[in-house]
């Protein structure tokens, strides 16, 4: 039915940056956002673990009546998106690092990518680079600990600032003129990343592109429609997730506890 919700999930609350783009483009749609905070971060976990989590969460969202699933996590996309699509007869829209638009934007042929270890070492990422940036110099930088520091300490915390100093410097030193934000948490610290790069460097993320793709898919299937409602659920501590929601995007509402 058109008024069924759209399910969105991430390992934590980084996917809220994608949810914001979705709600801005599709304000009448209903959304269920699931944060798998009990297992945050995904970035350094085995691929088989992430595959299993992705399939279980997608199944739980489908059981709630979701008409589409958005995998709002680059790491989960790399590990689990193909399995989820094989499992569900629903549109499954997944993120991937924005290598293609970055390659089109670069002027000096040097691209930087900030992402999790698991994303950067995935077969899917290697295929993206081979397909869309074969002639570019791609500088990859894993950022272990950054996603969880953004959630636990806040985007402007000392811990985050220290991690940004370490993670962004190699891209600045390499003179990357386009930098891909390859994790949904990183747009929360977009300003801090930009401050550590040349003023002429372009930052690219994928939230708006995902929102456009969701709109296209649901329009094709005549399934757009809703009431603008929003639900949040987590595998972790709902009070902690609620507090982080309020801090990151000024949303104050109950968070459901799901066993998935």
- The yes-or-no answer on residue 66 being catalytic is no
- The yes-or-no answer on residue 64 being catalytic is no
Which residue out of 66, 73, 143, 167 is catalytically annotated?
73
Q: How far apart are CA 239 and CA 257, in angstroms?
A: 10
Q: How far apart are CA 222 and CA 217, in angstroms?
A: 9
Which residue out of 66, 143, 167, 183 is catalytically annotated?
183
Q: How far apart are CA 50 and CA 33, in angstroms?
A: 18
Torsion angle defined by CA atoms of residues 181, 214, 42 and 62, in that order, rounded to the nearest 10 degrees:
170
**Cross-strand bridge partners of residue 179:** 112, 203
Q: How far apart are CA 152 and CA 145, in angstroms?
A: 10
Torsion sign across C-alpha atoms 151, 163, 96, 118: negative
Minimal CA–CA distance to 218: which of 74, 5, 21? 5
Residues annotated catalytic, as ranges: 73, 183
């Amino acid at each position: 039915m058109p008024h069924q919700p759209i399910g969105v999930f991430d390992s934590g609350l980084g996917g809220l940056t994608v949810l914001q783009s979705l709600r801005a483009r599709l304000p009448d749609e209903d959304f269920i956002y699931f944060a798998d905070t009990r297992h945050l971060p995904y970035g350094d976990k085995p691929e088989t673990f992430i595959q299993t989590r992705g399939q279980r969460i997608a199944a739980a969202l489908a059981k709630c009546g979701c008409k589409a699933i958005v995998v709002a996590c680059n790491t989960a996309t790399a590990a689990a998106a193909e399995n989820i699509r094989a499992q569900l007869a629903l549109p499954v829209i997944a993120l991937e690092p924005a290598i293609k638009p970055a390659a089109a934007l670069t002027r000096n042929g040097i691209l930087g990518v900030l992402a999790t270890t698991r994303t950067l070492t995935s077969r899917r990422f290697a295929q993206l680079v081979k397909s869309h940036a074969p002639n570019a110099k791609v500088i990859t930088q894993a950022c272990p600990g950054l996603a969880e520091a953004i959630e636990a300490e806040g985007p402007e915390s000392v811990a985050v600032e220290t991690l940004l100093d370490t993670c962004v410097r190699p891209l600045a030193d390499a003179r990357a003129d386009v930098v891909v934000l390859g994790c949904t948490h990183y747009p929360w610290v977009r300003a801090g990343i930009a401050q550590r790069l040349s003023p002429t460097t372009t930052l690219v993320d994928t939230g708006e592109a995902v929102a456009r793709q969701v709109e296209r898919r649901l329009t094709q299937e005549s399934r757009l429609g809703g009431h603008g409602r929003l639900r949040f659920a987590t595998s972790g501590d709902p009070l902690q997730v609620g507090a982080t929601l309020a801090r990151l995007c000024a949303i104050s509402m109950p968070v459901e506890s799901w066993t998935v």
